[in-house]
Amino acid sequence: MAKTVLIVEDSRAMRGLIRATVEQMPGFATVEAGSGFDALKTLPTHSFDLIITDINMPDINGLELISFVKGHPQYKDIPLIVVSTERSEEDKKRGLALGASGYIVKPFKGDELQELVKKVLGK
C-alpha cells in the first residue's frame, strides 16, 4: 500500500532532496509544503502516513505544527519526524516532547533518513 509523506520545509532545494530520498524507497509518494501555513492547508487534502518537518520556518514553526497535529482529532495519529540542526538541541528536545516520533540532524545522509522513516512507520 502506498505511503503518502508530507514534507514541510521552506528551503526548496532541501525539500527536493528529501523528496528524492523518500521516493527512492518503493511504495512511497510525497507531497510538499513550503511553510507551516502551507502544511495547514495541505493536511486536509490527503490522507498522510507521515509528516517530515523542519523546525525553523517563517510563519509558524515546526514545533507549533507538531502541537497542532497532535492536538487535532483527525491528524493526531500521524507520526512526525523533525529535521533539526545540531545547533538547536533544545528545539529537537521540544519536538520530541511534543510528540514527534523521531528526529534527524542536518546535514544527513540519504540512507539515514530512509532508515528512520522505515523505523517510524514500523516496517
Instruction: Give the footprint of other proteins on this chain (CB under 8 A).
Output: 10-14, 16-17, 20-21, 24, 36-37, 40-41, 44, 55-56, 58-68, 71-74, 85, 87-88, 90-91, 94, 97-98, 106-111
CA 5, CA 1: separation in Å to the nearest integer?
A: 13
Least distance in angstroms from the C-beta of 13 to other proteins = 4
Nearer Cβ to other proteins (1/78): 78
Smallest distance, other proteins to C-beta of residue 88, A: 6
Q: Is 24:110 a contact under the CB 8 Å cutoff?
A: yes
Residue 93 near residue 86, CB atoms below 8 Å: no
CB-nearer residue toward other proteins: 1 or 13: 13
Closer of 1 and 85 to other proteins (Cβ):
85
Q: Are 10 and 35 in contact (CB under 8 A)?
A: yes
**Cis-peptide, bond into residue 107, ω within 30° of zero:** yes
